[in-house]
Amino acid sequence: MKISCKYILFSTLLLAGLTQAQGDATTVRNLMKSVVIPQSDIVFAVGKKAPANDREWSQIAQSAAKLTEAAKALSARAPASNAESWRKASQAMADAAVRVGAGAKSKNADAVLDAGDLLYESCEGCHRQHLRK
């Protein structure tokens, strides 16, 4: 009886561990699709057309804030291997997003574009090292 209880406990822990690992991969993908891709598209679109009114500027600022949060969430999900480079890439994304937000708050399209370049580089920086091909 004792043995089977231990066994059940062990397999439950094992299962929880597996679900956790899968959950992280799913979370990164979901983060990309639900937040990172749509919100960064809004920021990158400033290259085609500068925001024309307060509402559009504040939308950029809101996207920047969501990207900053997403970068923090990414940082917390560093894979076991190469975690250091993952955290650096997440930090670069957070820094760039904060700069986008500052540019949007001062309604400076050039500043948003410069920060947008940094943001793009941060995406590429992580994908170069962590995207399975």
**Contacting residues toward ligand HEC, per CB under 6 A:** 25, 28-29, 32, 36-37, 40, 74, 86, 89-90, 93, 119, 122-123, 126-127, 130-131
Our CB check for ligand HEC shows the closer of 57 and 86 to be 86
Q: Return the structure tokens found at 59.
A: 């939308």
CB 59 within 8 A of CB 51: yes
- Residue with smaller CB distance to ligand HEC, 17 or 23: 23
CA 68/CA 48 separation, integer angstroms: 23
**Smallest separation (angstroms) from ligand HEC to the CB of 79:** 8
- What is the nearest approach in angstroms of ligand HEC to the Cβ of residue 118? 10
* Minimum CB–partner distance for residue 35 and ligand HEC (Å): 9
| Percent of residues in the chain assigned helix, strand, coil, to nearest 5 | 85, 0, 15
Rounded to 10 degrees, the C-alpha dihedral 23/28/34/38 comes to -170
CB closer to ligand HEC out of 42 and 51:
42
